[in-house]
Amino acid sequence: MIPDWNNHLFPLILFAFTMAGTPGPNNLMLTASGANFGFRRTIPHILGIILGMAAMLLALAAGLGVLFQQWPAIHQGLKVAGAFFLFYLAWRIATTRTGQSTAVETGRPLSMIEGALFQFVNPKAWVINLSALATFSVTGAEYWSSTLWIVLIFSLVMLNTLPFWTSFGVVLGRLLSSPRSLARFNLAMGILTAASVVLILR
């Protein structure tokens, strides 16, 4: 079933671009990774984000959202764990002192599996996916087809937005040629990542 463009599909695309394209933990981390490790080495991280978001959407559609409604402490616990993990990643970004030339010896970007698993402790990912399902899924016989369209649209949108943020980081990494300027950039990205956690959890 192809949803109606004006009443369903076009608003879904706009929602996906707004949610996936704006600054948040994923995009800030990709920017920092692009600056420190380059585009090619960040590709597994990009693919992991897309796979993790799709897996979370399908899990929520299959009943995980109902589980959270019955036992909200589980959801709250995941949010707290995700916040602590994000603060750890923010610290890791802020203390990175390597550029692309030495990153192979002293650090690495997130792997595809790490990028995927991170979505399950990413507060913004929970907000996005729960909102998408609540707003754009259709009840009844078309429930799963509408859910698959949400997964497809978000995946296609992120295939455009995530490389953009990574490329933006690559450009910044080339401009920040000195170790001191790159260290300041990493510190700023770490602070922004930590700040995004606080804003999401408000």
d(CA 162, CA 88): 22
**58 within 8 A of 151, measured Cβ to Cβ:** yes
What residues have CB less than 8 Å from 56, skipping those under 6 apart? 119, 120, 125, 126, 129
The two structure tokens encoding residue 161:
């937005």
For residue 76, give Cα distances in angstroms to 63, 82, 161, 196: 17, 10, 29, 18
**103 within 8 A of 34, measured Cβ to Cβ:** no
d(CA 44, CA 71): 34
d(CA 184, CA 200): 24
17-68 pLDDT per residue, tens? 988 988 888 998 999 999 989 999 999 999 999 999 999 999 988 886 566 5
- For residue 3, what pLDDT band results from cuts at 50, 70 and 90? low
Buried residues in 49-74 as b, exposed as e (16+ CB within 10 A): bbbbbbbbbbebbeebbeebeeeeee
pTM (global) more than 0.85: no
119-157 pLDDT per residue, tens? 988 888 888 888 888 888 887 788 888 889 999 999 999
Mean local confidence (pLDDT), 60-85: 69
